[in-house]
Amino acid sequence: MATIRILSGGAAQAVVEKIAAEFQRATGNDVSAEFSAVGAMKAKIVAGEPVDVVILTAALVDELIVQGLVAAGSRADLGKVGTGVAVRAGTPLPDVSNGEVLRGNMLAANKIVCPDPAVATAGKVVMGLVERLGITGQVRDKMQFFPNGYAAMRWLAASAGTLEMGITQITEILPNKNVKLAGPLPDELQRKTVYSAGLAARAQQTDAAKDFLARLSSLSARPILAGAGFEFDN
């Protein structure tokens, strides 16, 4: 029995966990997966952390291919992920349908939680968002950063505060039952990111890793990906 090691961005966590459960039942092989912000995962791979399957943004997977850390030709795109606004379940949903009302609701919020922009895709999107809305100075003190979107959503779910919102990737909002998606960012402020998987160049369990990658990127995985919030061009 083989154990494959996966390092993945948090955006793909819900999908990877479901595919991993099916993979383990079907093959008898085991999966050891770690999830966090894509920047943190890339740093682990560059530092030499043992890994068989890499799941990051397409841009970061390409960088790792150039560096010889992901096998050339192994990249498989999973789909696009957008950024959304969440609140604790049971609290009123803010209107996020256009930039002006989103701006007003962000200014009215007592707390805005999101992933750390230093390492997380969604965090960078959020900082770009507040800059484009012209409210950086007004919301800076009410923003709280977390290592990844799942951590931000866990905090939001457990909080008892009022007028609190979280902004992260939709695939990190939907799996968390105690938070509710208010909606995606408006089209004019949205930035969708392609996520991809690849075979680590130094994979120890190559055959099992290739099998997992084939399952993850197959057409039969599309409903799982779509249910988690991934989008496709065709």
pLDDT tens, position by position, 195-222:
999 999 999 999 999 999 999 999 999 9
Domain that holds residue 178: 83-184
Residue 75 sits in the same domain as residue 131: no
In a domain, 59, yes or no: yes
How does pLDDT run across 156-197, given as a tens digit for each residue? 999 999 999 999 999 999 999 899 999 999 999 999 999 999
151 in the same domain as 214: no
Answer whether residue 234 is part of any domain.
no
* Spans of the chain, pLDDT less than 50: none
* DSSP single-letter state for residue 1: -
Instruction: Read off the CATH number of the domain in which 199 is found.
Output: 3.40.190.10
Is 70 in the same domain as 102? no
- State whether 74 and 89 are in the same domain: no
Q: Are residues 215 and 172 in the same domain?
A: no
DSSP string, 89-133: TTSPPPP-SSHHHHHHHHHH-SEEEEE-TTT-HHHHHHHHHHHHH
Q: Would residue 16 count as lying in a domain?
A: yes
In a domain, 150, yes or no: yes
The answer to whether residue 22 sits within a structural domain is yes
| 233 within domain boundaries | no
Question: 116 and 59 share a domain?
Answer: no
pLDDT at 1: 82
pLDDT at site 233: 86
Is residue 189 one of the residues assigned to a domain?
no
The dihedral over CA atoms of 4, 8, 10, 16, expressed in degrees to the nearest 10, equals -40
**Residue 123 falls within a domain, yes or no?**
yes
Task: Let me know whether 116 and 178 are in one domain.
Answer: yes
The whole-angstrom separation of Cα 208 and Cα 224 is 21
Based on the domain organization, do 150 and 209 belong to the same domain? no
